[in-house]
A and B are shown apart, each in its own frame.
Chain A
Amino acid sequence: MRIIACTERSFGKLEPFSLEMITAARAAGATGDEVVAFFAGQDPEPAVANLGAADRLVAASAGNSELIAAESYARLLKDVVAAEEPGLVLVPYSANGLDVAADLAARTGWPLVSYVNEVRRDGDRLTVIAQVYGGKILAECNVPLPAILMVNPGAFAEAERRTVDPSKLQHSDARAVVAEGRVRLVGVDVPNYDSVDLTTAERIVCVGRGIGDEASIDIARGLADILGAEIAGSRPVVDSGWLPKVRQVGKSGQKVKPKLYLALGVSGAPEHLEGMSKSDLIIAVNTDPKAPIFNVAHFGATCDLFDLVANLSERLQAASDR
């Protein structure tokens, strides 16, 4: 069987989840299956330089705009699917993938499962585990082949980065297809990081009154910097003027939903939880084992936050220096 793994680039770089699609394809494949990476976008150079783990790369370069509209991507993919006749197509769950996966499913009539975390192949039977209800429930699904899967980034490890052997590269010019598109890209805005918007932050380190005083905030800020996280505070911390109001999380502050929320010395009053309990991963550090923050935390530790931060910062720093 042939499996197509869809890949993307963004601002000159290959999206890391592209490599994960290849790992997922291998996981879904049986021995002898062929994994074909599909790429569409401006200049396939980063794809060529990294996707060597796939058996082949089919790349369509789509001219000089930084982004390619999903409409064009889907159209190019459909042509490749028609030509390659794969048994499975893996699409990443991305802004682009959201428009591509079901579009292809509608045009081919193939089954589709979204938000896939795990795949299992048993002869010609494919079973997947996917998230529903925002991850509150996992669904085990039977998928008749040929089929399409929309795979969660982060669910599979990245495949090894290798250059694609020129003999395994099939390259075409897709500018004509893009020009025919009915969705015309007119501009791209790159965020300006001067003003903080916690609501869109992906990682947050939040300090509560347990931080003790203003000067100690810097210790937490150090950890936040290492993690690439925004620093935030509970209401008492903001009240004390240790952090500006835009960094307050909670009922009367910002409602946040980051991928990582690290709460240091926050007790977890309902007004605080209201602003952050939907975060994907919550880690809480609080000396009081009865602190209600532990009711929402995925991981909790009851040690002194200063000891922990010092220790953790050191480890993470060392790891990234390596």
Chain B
Amino acid sequence: MSETPVLWIVTLAAIALTVWRSRRYIVALAQAPGANRFDQPWRRLEGVAIAIGLHRKLLRKPLSGILHALIFVSFFVLFTVTIEAFGSRLFPGFSLAPIGGDSWIALLQDLFAVLMLAGLGLAVYQRYVLKPARFKGSSGADAAIIYVLILLIVSSLLIEAGARIVGGADGSWRPVASLVADLLRVLDLPAHPAERIAYWIHIGAILAFLVYIPGSKHRHMFLAAPNIYFRNLEPAGTAPAVPSERENPGVASLVQFDWKQQLDLLSCTECGRCQAVCPAYASGLPLSPKMLITDMRDALANEASGPLVGGVIAEETLWACTTCRACMEACPVEIEHLPKIIDMRRHLVDEGHVSPMLQDALSNLTRLGNSMGKPSKMRARWTKELGFPVKDARSEPVDVLWFVGDYASYDPRVQDVTRKVAELLTAAGVDFGILFDAERNSGNDVRRAGEEGLFETLAQSNIDAIRACSFNRIVTTDPHSLNALKNDYRHFGGEFEVLHYTALLAELVAAGRLDIGPADGATVTYHDPCYLGRYNGGFDAPRDLIRAAGYTLHDMPRCRENSFCCGAGGGRIWQGDDGVKERPSENRIREALGLGVGIFVVACPKDKVMYTAATDALGVASSLRILDVAELINLREASSA
């Protein structure tokens, strides 16, 4: 039989089989609720170009990045081989020769076949020799099958080309295939049968690859680009709103996730970059963001997988997340872990499934507007020990409305910092005021703990209080409040200009409004709070302040976007640490201890609390002091007084 009908039959059969293997996913995506991800096409394309074209995130891990780039580019070049292989038999007479198929294209194919093999070799070396921990839990068999298929595809194409050269074809544009031809000559294989066998191996491997893909992480070859294209363009700090058509606030089954959330599941490459940076995973809690995604993905494929929340994904897994966003920052294909976690937590909260400690905190927040169970009337108590009165922004206009936040208002370890900030603002002549007992917890972590209803109540109450004041800008102490006021309140019509106190102080320093008596240049390190740095890009102001205060900054190994969460966020500070092998805060303090500095600078009230407790726990409180940026700043008048 002629090869053409045979190839038609196997190709069509393979395509049909591939579609059949993908049917569940196709149906799931088609039936999923809508998501508005079609706006701003140019910005979206640009993101795809940077992510894929420049391998921006992939190259953060150099070895992986380079080997992926090798394989990725080689794949495109070698695709011409595939076109030629199928085209020439399916449509007799088709050939790339007129555009250079036998000359420069042939040369490229030859070279990139080698580069592909080099990339493959590196991949094998990485996976089987280096064995990075982030692959733990990824499917090893899947990777091995793909390696074998790629090896078959590339070696068969070289052998086929080599055999053709043995059979008399021109080898001048094919240096590598010529070497293979020499080898074949030595082995004395008959040229024509060898060429045909290699051809069919090549075709077989490609079709096998095609059929295999729907069940494999290598779906990402097709889905990575669309997944990046349809990424979330809202600010990182805006938690997903509850869609109006959803009956309950949360998500209890996969089908309730919109198509983009489901597409995420299919796009995961199992690269484990998210797992490697996850503080919950590092602390020994049963959460790996990678496995969260792959478990849900597997459930999508398997109808009999049981309930989603509390089944496929355990409750402890959901509660373990600190919402630090490190996973999303790391993910090369822009998978959105957090919206899924928050939506599933919303379901748990709606069902009343919360741990006793969290219940305490949420009940306190419902009743008193703060998580500590302190009377709301005592919120501004810290002002009593100031040497001057603080304006009540509710009764007189101010330039800066200071949203102080729970920890900065109530926690005795932080109140000193709060007073210091008040003194600095006063010294700089800033006209500021606070909301006194009209302030409520911003709701940032309430929302991320899945308590959407309570968040709405808190947000509404704060928005009403803020709107009743006359001011120009809002400044917050707590990065968590910063995030809620700046990003979340927009969902409720509260659009304000909000900045972190470090940004305001940096502005005042730059304007020469603070007369600083600089320190002696001692070296300190600094922890980037998740909600200031990763979420809101506030990386530089605290660093500028540290330098302005007269200290030398020695950055942490994990800093800026890669900062490692203290473990308090997303409501974790309101939960117990059962199952925690090493608290994230203590992991972080150990990291700092390695730097040989005496001061660990923070810019978040929760960090002051978490790290003070961590140095207590490790017994290093005397060798590593936890100081807020504000505490570093020494005013000249104050020091002479």
Task: State whether A252 and B412 are in contact (beta carbons under 8 Å apart), knowing that A236-B617, A269-B616 are contacts in the complex.
Answer: no
* Complex contacts, B412 vs chain A, CB 8 Å: 270, 292
A292 to chain B: which residues have CB within 8 Å?
412
A252 touches B577 (CB 8 A): yes
Contact of B413 among A245, A251, A270, A274 (CB under 8 A): A270
B617 lies within 8 A of A239 (CB): yes
Interface residue? A78 (CB, 8 A): no
A26 at the interface (CB under 8 A from B): no
| Complex CA–CA separation, A269 to B413 (angstroms) | 9
A225 interfacial contact with B, CB 8 Å: no
In the complex, residue of chain A having the shortest beta-carbon distance to the beta carbon of B373: A274
Give the shortest distance, in Å, between B625 (CB) and chain A (any CB).
16
Chain A residues, Cβ within 8 Å of B576 = 252
- Asked if A257 is at the interface of the complex by the 8 Å CB criterion, the answer is no
Contact count A vs B, C-beta below 8 Å: 27
Contact of A252 among B357, B372, B609 (CB under 8 A): B357
Q: Is the interface of A mostly helix, strand, loop or mixed?
A: helix
Distance of A203 Cα from B167 Cα, bound (Å): 96
- In the bound complex, CA of A239 to CA of B575 (Å): 16
A217 to B411, CA, bound (A): 30
Once the chains bind, are B357 and A209 in contact (CB under 8 Å)?
A: no
Q: Does B619 contact A (CB under 8 A)?
A: yes
Q: Which of B364-423 contact A (CB under 8 A)?
A: 372, 411-413
Q: How far is the CB of B408 from chain A (nearest CB, A)?
A: 13
CB distance from A266 to the nearest CB of B (A): 11
Contacts of A56 in B (CB 8 A): none
Question: Counting CB contacts under 8 A, is B111 at the interface?
Answer: no
The reply on B516 being an interface residue by CB < 8 A is no
> For window 49-82 of chain B, which residues contact chain A by CB distance below 8 Å?
none
- Whether B357 lies near A251 (C-beta < 8 A) is yes
A271 to B410 alpha-carbon distance, docked (Å): 12
Q: What distance in Å separates the Cβ of A263 from its nearest Cβ neighbour in chain B?
A: 15
Which residues of B406-456 have CB atoms within 8 Å of chain A's CB atoms? 411-413
- Binary B-proximity of A284-319 (CB < 8 A = 1, otherwise 0): 000000001000000000000000000000000000
User: Is A235's CB within 8 Å of the partner chain B?
Assistant: yes
Nearest-Cβ distance from residue B37 to partner chain A, whole angstroms: 40
- Separation of A269 and B610 alpha carbons in the complex (Å): 11
Chain A residues 248 to 272 lying within 8 A of chain B, measured CB to CB, are 251-252, 267, 269-271
Q: Which residues of A contact B617 (CB under 8 A)?
A: 235-236, 239
Nearest-neighbor residue (CB-CB) of B573 within chain A: A251
How long is the Cα–Cα vector from A274 to B364 in the complex, in angstroms? 13
In the complex, the answer to whether B577 meets A236 with C-beta atoms within 8 Å is no
- Nearest residue, chain B, Cβ from A248: B576
CB-CB contacts below 8 Å: A86-103 with B: none
Judged by a CB distance under 8 angstroms, whether B613 is at the interface is yes
Interchain CA distance A267-B619 in the complex, whole Å? 13
Residues of B within 8 A of A267 (CB): 616
B contact residues around A271 at 8 Å (CB): 613
B361's nearest neighbour on chain A, judged by CB, is A251
Q: Show 27 residue pairs from A and B whose CB-CB distance is below 8 angstroms, ordered by the A residue.
A: A209-B616, A209-B619, A235-B613, A235-B617, A236-B616, A236-B617, A236-B619, A239-B617, A245-B578, A251-B357, A252-B357, A252-B575, A252-B576, A252-B577, A267-B616, A269-B413, A269-B612, A269-B613, A269-B616, A270-B372, A270-B411, A270-B412, A270-B413, A270-B609, A271-B613, A274-B372, A292-B412
Closest 7 CB pairs of A and B: A252-B576, A236-B617, A239-B617, A270-B411, A236-B616, A252-B577, A292-B412
